[in-house]
A and B are shown apart, each in its own frame.
Chain A
Amino acid sequence: MIVSKKEIPSFLDKLISDYQVFAPVQKGSYTLFKQICSGTDAVLDGGITKLPVKEIFFPQSEKLFSYNVTNEGAKLEAPVDDRKKVVFGVRPCDARSLTLLDNVFNNDKYQDPYYLTRRNNTILVGIGCNSPASTCFCTSVNGGPFDTKGLDLLLVDTGDAYVVEPVSDKGKELAEKAGFAAASDADKAAAAKVKEEAVVSCRVNTDGLKAKLDVNFYDPIWDRIHEKCLGCGACTYLCPTCHCFDIVDDAVDCNGCRVRNWDSCAFPLFTLHGSGHNPRSTNKERYRNRIMHKFKYFVDNFNEIACVGCGRCIKNCPVNMDIRVVLEDIRGSEARLDS
């Protein structure tokens, strides 16, 4: 199927009457996913959004429930957001990140109803990346600029139009309902050419990385590798696969609500015990945890690397920590098993 770029706003306007529609919108010098009221608000050529798409499913701050408590009992109300949504213009790396987060919010014992209800009610329409940025390294971590994992529909930008490739049944249905025209052989050839020409020039060699992390927890390399890092946590807030959070009360006396907020393993208070003891007391342990979590623990638990190579942490670190360099550095380090 194919849709011309000119038709996109009216297509989105039609969607808006049936769904909450989210798309990248311009905010100063960058783009962010926001709910749109008009199809013309969507900015589809702005590259990757500043914040990852996870915030639609796992907002930075979200009410879990409200309560009203007396000495007789407690009245709890937990509104779970089950509105139908379409997220339009998701990049493949962000879509993949959601499939990784699914493992966390739907684990072997517990289901998170807030995240999962939103996931189940959302259709993801992706746009492939014709010109990946210099910080992108998706192809080094099992992704790619036209990877369809996690998407329902993939759009391939062929200049004046998007070639529409259905990925899931949900996506196919949406495309059929929209009445997109059939793609000609020439259109399909153009899409294939675009895909072939999109090159992720940056390649991070991850061969043997996991095997190294399996044995180097006590390696002196960790003393050195974190040194530049300020522990500001920016990389964790902007990372599409980071999922740490805190739970706090926002209340006047006994009426209020319980709220969850993004938190970060980069912060010392994150793990500080009530006793004063802290298992990750310095930045060394905290930086090590971030790397270990993404490239070892997540792999042990779910058989996937918890990094999609989006490059947000590289672009936004105030001291230019580059995770690609860190990984290469680690790969070269000697194995060390004991403390």
Chain B
Amino acid sequence: MKNPYLPLPMKLVKNFTETEDKLIHTFTLQYLSEEDEKSFSYMPGQFAEVCVFGKGEAPFGIASSPTEPGFLKFSVAKVGVVSTALHLMEEGTIVGVRGPLGNYYPVEEFKGKNVVIIGGGFAFTTLRSLATYMLHPDRRGDYGDITVIYGARNPGLLLYKEELAAWEKSPDINLITTIDRAVDGWTGRVGFIPAVTEEVAPSSDNAYAIICGPPVMIKFTMPVLEKLGFPPERIIMSLENRMKCGIGMCGRCNVGGKYVCKDGPVFTRAQLNELPNEY
């Protein structure tokens, strides 16, 4: 019987301050052996319980893509015990990773389709994984147009500047970045995600929309997607209920009879429409 509570020890090799306000750090973790790497096979959208020994564990979306071998990446907001301990951690320290957990974005269904990725704030983590996965030269041909609409309060709060710069130049992806209020030197758009999505008006023909962000952003973007003609079956969301076990046993993360950890975190709007609004 495989013990689902045992973490894989990994080495934290980079503790990078991702945002200007210093509240988000991105951690690069390296496997300790090739065997360990083989044992951790994941897909974009999955998450893991990351533990700081002595402090505890907390769930984080995997921000790296399976097409990036050798390491895992997590971008973590400092909110409590485990996330703060991670932020303070020295490079070279051993942490634990339990997973991969949960389901993933339906990348098989996306084949031959246009894909519109909409992200707000620091919820962009697994969307980075997804975009990186689809943009891999071996896979890019499987998908139609890839559009990314990504917004933050100000430029300093956007994650993954390097990737954004590369995507900006790439013909393989249509990247639209937006900030809430104009600042000097900003060349992207200005405005909230729902309004920008309406302006960009990505076609819903043969397309999927994937949306992650704070509840208010989701609430106001949903009607825009509906207006654009995205049916609920082709709107994909990822939930972030509080979790502990990650394996459908501790009872914490349920939305109706579904456990977000085991049956999600990725759901279609159509699936969520059938569930009570406890998320």
Q: Cβ of A263 and Cβ of B278 under 8 Å apart? A: no
A57 within 8 A of B: no
Instruction: Kindly state the separation between the CA atoms of A117 and B53 in the bound complex, as whole angstroms.
Output: 26
Of B37-45, B62-70, B168-176, B249-257, which binds chain A?
B249-257
Q: Cβ of B53 and Cβ of A247 under 8 Å apart? A: no
B107 within 8 A of A: no
Q: Cβ of A110 and Cβ of B53 under 8 Å apart? A: no
Chain B 247-279 near chain A by CB (<8 Å), digits 1 or 0:
111111111110000100000000000001111
Closest B residue, CB atoms, query A110: B247
Partner of B56, one of A71, A105, A249: A249
Chain A 63-83 near chain B by CB (<8 Å), digits 1 or 0:
011010111111010101000
Most-contacted residue by chain A among B51, B93, B255, B278 (CB, 10 A)? B278
Instruction: Kindly state the separation between the CA atoms of A232 and B113 in the bound complex, as whole angstroms.
Output: 51
B1 within 8 A of A: yes
Q: Cβ of B251 and Cβ of A70 under 8 Å apart? A: no
Name the interface residues of A18-69: CB closer than 8 Å to any CB of B. Answer: 64-65, 67, 69
B83 surroundings in chain A (CB, below 8 A)? 274
Instruction: Kindly state the separation between the CA atoms of A254 and B96 in the bound complex, as whole angstroms.
Output: 12
Q: How far is the CB of B88 from chain A (nearest CB, A)?
A: 14
Q: How far is the CB of B142 from chain A (nearest CB, A)?
A: 27
Instruction: Kindly state the separation between the CA atoms of A69 and B248 in the bound complex, as whole angstroms.
Output: 28
Partner of B241, one of A251, A273, A301: A273
Name the interface residues of B126-158: CB closer than 8 Å to any CB of A. Answer: none
A275 within 8 A of B: yes
B6 surroundings in chain A (CB, below 8 A)? 65, 76, 78
Of A87-95, A134-142, A238-246, A324-332, which binds chain B?
A238-246
Chain A 281-317 near chain B by CB (<8 Å), digits 1 or 0:
0000100010011001110110000000000000000
Q: Cβ of A245 and Cβ of B57 under 8 Å apart? A: no
Q: How far is the CB of B271 from chain A (nearest CB, A)?
A: 14
Q: Give the secondary structure class of B's interface.
A: loop
Partner of B4, one of A69, A73, A112: A112
Q: How far is the CB of B34 from chain A (nearest CB, A)?
A: 15
Q: Cβ of A69 and Cβ of B94 under 8 Å apart? A: yes
B54 surroundings in chain A (CB, below 8 A)? 69, 249, 251-254, 256
Q: Cβ of A251 and Cβ of B277 under 8 Å apart? A: no
Q: How far is the CB of B219 from chain A (nearest CB, A)?
A: 12
Closest B residue, CB atoms, query A299: B257
Q: Cβ of B1 and Cβ of A113 under 8 Å apart? A: yes
A333 within 8 A of B: no
Partner of B251, one of A64, A109, A117, A245: A245
Instruction: Kindly state the separation between the CA atoms of A80 and B6 in the bound complex, as whole angstroms.
Output: 12
State how many residues of chain A have any CB contact under 8 Å with chain B: 60
A113 surroundings in chain B (CB, below 8 A)? 1-3
Given contacts A116-B1, A251-B53, contact A297 B241 (CB under 8 A): no
Q: Cβ of A74 and Cβ of B94 under 8 Å apart? A: yes
Closest B residue, CB atoms, query A278: B242
Given contacts A71-B93, A245-B251, contact A110 B262 (CB under 8 A): yes
Q: Cβ of B53 and Cβ of A273 under 8 Å apart? A: no
A116 surroundings in chain B (CB, below 8 A)? 1
B250 surroundings in chain A (CB, below 8 A)? 243-247, 260, 263
B214 surroundings in chain A (CB, below 8 A)? 275
B92 within 8 A of A: yes
B179 within 8 A of A: no
A254 surroundings in chain B (CB, below 8 A)? 53-54
Name the interface residues of B49-98: CB closer than 8 Å to any CB of A. Answer: 51, 53-58, 77, 79-80, 83, 92-94, 96
Instruction: Kindly state the separation between the CA atoms of A223 and B247 in the bound complex, as whole angstroms.
Output: 32
Q: Cβ of B57 and Cβ of A247 under 8 Å apart? A: yes
B9 surroundings in chain A (CB, below 8 A)? 69, 73-74, 76
B14 surroundings in chain A (CB, below 8 A)? none
B56 surroundings in chain A (CB, below 8 A)? 247-249
Q: Cβ of B79 and Cβ of A275 under 8 Å apart? A: yes
A104 within 8 A of B: yes
Q: Cβ of B257 and Cβ of A297 under 8 Å apart? A: yes
Instruction: Kindly state the separation between the CA atoms of A297 and B255 in the bound complex, as whole angstroms.
Output: 10
A117 surroundings in chain B (CB, below 8 A)? 1
B249 surroundings in chain A (CB, below 8 A)? 104-105, 107, 110, 112, 243, 245
B251 surroundings in chain A (CB, below 8 A)? 242-245, 263, 265, 293
A280 within 8 A of B: yes
B245 within 8 A of A: yes
Instruction: Kindly state the separation between the CA atoms of A73 and B254 in the bound complex, as whole angstroms.
Output: 34
B77 surroundings in chain A (CB, below 8 A)? 274
A11 within 8 A of B: no
B5 surroundings in chain A (CB, below 8 A)? 64-65, 78, 247, 258
B32 within 8 A of A: yes
Most-contacted residue by chain A among B1, B9, B77, B249 (CB, 10 A)? B249
Instruction: Kindly state the separation between the CA atoms of A287 and B2 in the bound complex, as whole angstroms.
Output: 35
B189 surroundings in chain A (CB, below 8 A)? none
B185 within 8 A of A: no
A-B contact pairs, 10 of them (CB 8 A): A64-B5, A67-B53, A78-B6, A110-B4, A111-B4, A247-B5, A247-B57, A247-B244, A271-B242, A300-B257
Known: A70-B94, A113-B2. 14 other contacts (CB 8 A): A64-B5, A65-B5, A69-B53, A72-B94, A74-B53, A109-B262, A217-B276, A244-B251, A258-B51, A265-B252, A271-B252, A273-B240, A279-B279, A301-B257
